[in-house]
Amino acid sequence: MLNSHKTVLLIDDNDVDLKINSKIIKISNFFEEIVTCLSADEALNYLQQTLNNDGKLPDFILLDIQMPDMDGFEFLEVYKNLPKRLTGNCTIAMLSSTLDFGDIKRAEASQHVVKLLKKPLLPKELAEVLKKHLPS
């Protein structure tokens, strides 16, 4: 399939979902490399370190909404001030099991988010987002 994308970063406090979604992405061969973080904080540390070491930055982020301490929306607030080298080349989709109208509206209104994907993640839906927003 589309295996020309490089790195994806998954951020989710739920380790079961992290496992499931990594596996789905792996089987579908969407990315060469999969990085997982169990909190927004861990993800920001990872991004900062990668920026400092001139490492391989993610091309795509799948971001959970409800997480303790720092939720997906709070992550975006910090993310948008990170260097353009990252934010200019990285696409974000949110991923949540939410049915809450407020959450859905907020995600759709956010400038940095191309799409709110619903859990469970379906390979077909992810493929569509990648095709539309991540030209290979």
Shortest spacing between CB 54 and another protein, in angstroms: 35
The full DSSP string for 36-71 is: EESSHHHHHHHHHHHHHTT----SEEEEES--SSS-
Site residue total, another protein (CB under 8 A): 20
Residue 124 is encoded by which pair of tokens? 């077909």
Residue 32 is encoded by which pair of tokens? 């060469």
The residue from 2, 6, 24, 73 that contacts another protein (CB under 8 A) is: 24
| Three-state DSSP class for residue 6 | strand
Residue 129 found at the interface with another protein (CB under 8 A): no
46 to 85: interface string for another protein, x by CB under 8 A: --------------------x-------------------
Q: Candidates 22-30, 46-54, 81-89, 108-116: pick the segment binding another protein (CB under 8 A).
A: 22-30
| Three-state DSSP class for residue 27 | helix
Residue 23 found at the interface with another protein (CB under 8 A): yes
Shortest spacing between CB 39 and another protein, in angstroms: 16
Q: How many CB atoms sit inside 10 A of residue 3's CB?
A: 11
Classify burial at 99, counting beta carbons within 10 Å of its beta carbon; exposed 0-12, middle 13-18, buried 19 or more.
exposed
Residue 92 found at the interface with another protein (CB under 8 A): no
Interface residues toward another protein, by CB under 8 A: 14, 16-17, 20-21, 23-24, 27-28, 66, 97-101, 119-123
